[in-house]
């Protein structure tokens, strides 16, 4: 019953919110209440007690509960922020549907990977609707590029879903006792899994959809993408457990090294691209996330320490994506006057700028924020595998820090912002139309929530065992690590 509540309640509430979508205030209150209630339900679910629904086994393990709670909390905060930040008409509805799908994907047992793949595919379809969703009563047209990036995302996610599903059908075939051929399917299995997950996590060279999508979508959609990426990373861990532990897939050192190189390439390449993409705050952030995903992928295929670091970093990325995209939304709010040259964000939007800067520092693993502990574990995991890996990860971090220093100089300290949407300033000039109401101050509610979330990052950074202990416990139970 509790499990059904976790999946069905958000879906039912999504339907209710869709019917009431003209009354956004009520819809947001309902959504916040739903996420709070479900957070409490998840807290009450007994751990490690599997149940079966229509032949599918479901369990909540300690690690899953941690991430389920983090997802519920992130949705709750996102819906609170949505009361003060521009978003699409159906954002709350789509958010609740994604919440339900992620709950299901994190609860279904690893023995049904095909079903989890389909649920992740469905989350991708939902994101596209959020991407092209316009606010109620908007007077402007949707940009053609937004439809284009949505379509690209649709194609990428569907291909990723087909590849992953194909991988698990092949795994099923490999597991058939009376198979005719003795040819091993290990190589195609690994290729399908790695390419499928790389497409989902935007690992280089499958990354181009992420910056385009984040650039053309409302800022809060970035948080939803962060949540789906978290689910995809956890699914990769489950997939390795499903494939490696029973011996369906064997990883020889050569293949493992190849996957590590791909991950390191993404970590370094993402940081390099962040330097190149610094004129746009959103594209810069997308590149940093690509670099971070590369590091997490490396952690998953390195060692126990690396895997622990990757899971911890995934948790941090989820929390930080809420912080960073809220800050971006606050920074991009329309201004009454055009900024003077040399008048950076830090002067005009001090709170939002502070949140953004601290969020990026946390993502880069700078102490005392939460990213420091997870990045340290990733470095430790890399050092265990070889000094070269450690050097590569450190180079990626330094390049990311350099890109951020340039962004800080260009956007926050000195020059006028380049990423401010032009239509906010130009729509009404010279036409006799009334200008939008001036918004001189930063919205107190959303800023307070972002600062409070940053406080949580600081607490986790100062006392990592809060999150780390259940992750360490969970990693002990993952038997596939011994095959890496």
Binding site for another protein (CB under 8 A): 53-56, 112, 114-115, 118-119, 121-122, 125, 128-129, 132, 137-145, 147-148, 150-151, 154-155, 158-159, 161-162, 165-166, 169-170, 172-173, 175-176, 179-181, 188, 427, 431, 433
Smallest separation, CB 176 to another protein (Å): 6
Cα 14 to Cα 116: distance, rounded to the nearest angstrom? 21
Q: Which helix (H) or strand (E) holds 318?
A: helix 304-331
Q: Decide whether 128 or 331 has the Cβ nearer to another protein.
A: 128
Smallest separation, CB 249 to another protein (Å): 16
Q: Decide whether 130 or 378 has the Cβ nearer to another protein.
A: 130
Smallest separation, CB 272 to another protein (Å): 24
Nearest residue to 65 (alpha-carbon basis) of 82, 45, 51, 49 = 45
Preceding peptide of 440 cis, ω within 30°: no
Q: Are 146 and 212 in contact (CB under 8 A)?
A: no
Q: Decide whether 53 or 398 has the Cβ nearer to another protein.
A: 53
Smallest separation, CB 156 to another protein (Å): 11
Smallest separation, CB 139 to another protein (Å): 4
User: Interhelix angle for 350-363 vs 281-300, to 10°?
Assistant: 30
Smallest separation, CB 55 to another protein (Å): 5
Q: Decide whether 346 or 425 has the Cβ nearer to another protein.
A: 425
How many residues can be counted in the chain? 484
Cα 199 to Cα 305: distance, rounded to the nearest angstrom? 25
Cα 111 to Cα 167: distance, rounded to the nearest angstrom? 14
Quick one: tokens of 24? 């956004």
Q: Decide whether 161 or 443 has the Cβ nearer to another protein.
A: 161
Cα 443 to Cα 191: distance, rounded to the nearest angstrom? 48
How many other CB atoms are there within 10 angstroms of residue 124's CB atom? Answer: 21
Smallest separation, CB 463 to another protein (Å): 41
Q: Decide whether 183 or 441 has the Cβ nearer to another protein.
A: 183
Cα 394 to Cα 382: distance, rounded to the nearest angstrom? 10
Q: Which helix (H) or strand (E) holds 73?
A: helix 62-82
Smallest separation, CB 302 to another protein (Å): 31
Inter-residue long-range contacts of 130-133, CB under 8 Å, 24+ positions, other chains counted: 130/88, 130/90, 130/91, 130/94, 130/95, 130/217, 130/218, 130/221, 130/224, 131/213, 131/216, 131/217, 131/221, 133/87, 133/88, 133/89, 133/90, 133/91, 133/94, 133/218
Smallest separation, CB 315 to another protein (Å): 27
DSSP secondary structure of 220-243 = HHHHHHHHHHHHHHHHHHHHHHHH
Smallest separation, CB 165 to another protein (Å): 5
Q: Decide whether 423 or 469 has the Cβ nearer to another protein.
A: 423
Cα 413 to Cα 422: distance, rounded to the nearest angstrom? 21
Preceding peptide of 370 cis, ω within 30°: no
Q: Decide whether 41 or 132 has the Cβ nearer to another protein.
A: 132
Q: Are 72 and 38 in contact (CB under 8 A)?
A: yes
Q: Decide whether 58 or 319 has the Cβ nearer to another protein.
A: 58
Smallest separation, CB 143 to another protein (Å): 7
Give the residue ranges of DSSP H helices in 108-143.
Answer: 113-131
Cα 79 to Cα 83: distance, rounded to the nearest angstrom? 7
Q: Decide whether 179 or 338 has the Cβ nearer to another protein.
A: 179
Q: Decide whether 170 or 327 has the Cβ nearer to another protein.
A: 170
Q: Decide whether 161 or 461 has the Cβ nearer to another protein.
A: 161
Smallest separation, CB 229 to another protein (Å): 19
């Amino acid at each position: 019953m509790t499990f059904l509540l976790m999946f069905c309640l958000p879906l039912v509430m999504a339907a209710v919110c869709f019917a009431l979508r003209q009354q956004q205030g009520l819809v947001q209150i309902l959504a916040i209440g739903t996420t709070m209630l479900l957070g409490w339900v998840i807290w009450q679910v007994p751990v490690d007690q599997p149940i079966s629904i229509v032949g599918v086994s479901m369990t909540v393990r300690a690690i899953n509960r941690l991430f389920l709670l983090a997802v519920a909390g992130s949705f709750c905060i996102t819906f609170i922020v949505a009361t003060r930040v521009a978003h699409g008409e159906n954002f709350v509805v789509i958010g609740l549907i994604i919440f339900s799908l992620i709950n299901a994907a994190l609860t279904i047992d690893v023995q049904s990977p095909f079903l989890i793949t389909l649920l992740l595919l469905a989350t991708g379809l939902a994101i596209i609707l959020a991407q092209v969703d316009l606010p109620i009563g908007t007077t402007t047209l949707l940009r053609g590029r937004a439809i284009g990036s949505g379509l690209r995302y649709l194609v990428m996610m569907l291909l990723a879903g087909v590849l992953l599903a194909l991988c698990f059908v092949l795994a099923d075939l490999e597991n058939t006792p009376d198979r005719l051929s003795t040819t091993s399917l290990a190589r195609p299995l690994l290729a399908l899994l790695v390419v499928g997950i790389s497409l989902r996590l935007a690992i280089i060279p499958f990354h181009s959809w992420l910056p385009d999508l984040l650039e053309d979508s409302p800022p809060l959609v970035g948080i939803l993408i962060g949540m789906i990426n978290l689910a995809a990373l956890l699914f990769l861990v489950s997939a390795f457990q499903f494939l490696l532990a029973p011996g369906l897939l064997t990883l020889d050192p050569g293949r493992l090294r190849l996957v590590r190189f791909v991950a390191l390439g993404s970590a370094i390449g993402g940081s390099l691209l962040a330097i190149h993409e610094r004129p746009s705050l959103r594209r810069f952030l997308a590149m940093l996330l690509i670099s971070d995903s590369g590091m997490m992928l490396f952690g998953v295929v390195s060692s126990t320490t690396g895997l622990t670091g990757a899971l911890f970093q995934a948790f941090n990325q989820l929390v930080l994506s809420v912080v960073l995209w809220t800050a971006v939304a606050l920074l991009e709010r329309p201004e009454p006057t055009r900024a003077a040259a040399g008048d950076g964000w830090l002067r005009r939007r001090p709170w939002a700028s502070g949140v953004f800067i601290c969020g990026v520092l946390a993502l880069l693993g700078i102490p005392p924020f939460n990213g420091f502990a997870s990045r340290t574990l990733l470095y430790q995991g890399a050092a265990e595998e070889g000094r070269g890996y450690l050097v590569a990860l450190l180079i990626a971090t330094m390049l990311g820090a350099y890109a951020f220093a340039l962004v800080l100089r260009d956007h926050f300290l000195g020059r006028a912002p380049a990423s401010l949407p032009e239509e906010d300033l130009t729509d009404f000039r010279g036409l006799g139309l009334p200008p939008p109401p001036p918004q001189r101050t930063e919205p107190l509610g959303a800023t307070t929530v972002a600062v409070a979330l940053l406080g949580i990052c600081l607490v986790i950074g100062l006392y990592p065992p809060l999150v780390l202990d259940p992750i360490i416990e969970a990693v002990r139970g993952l038997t596939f690590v011994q095959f890496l």
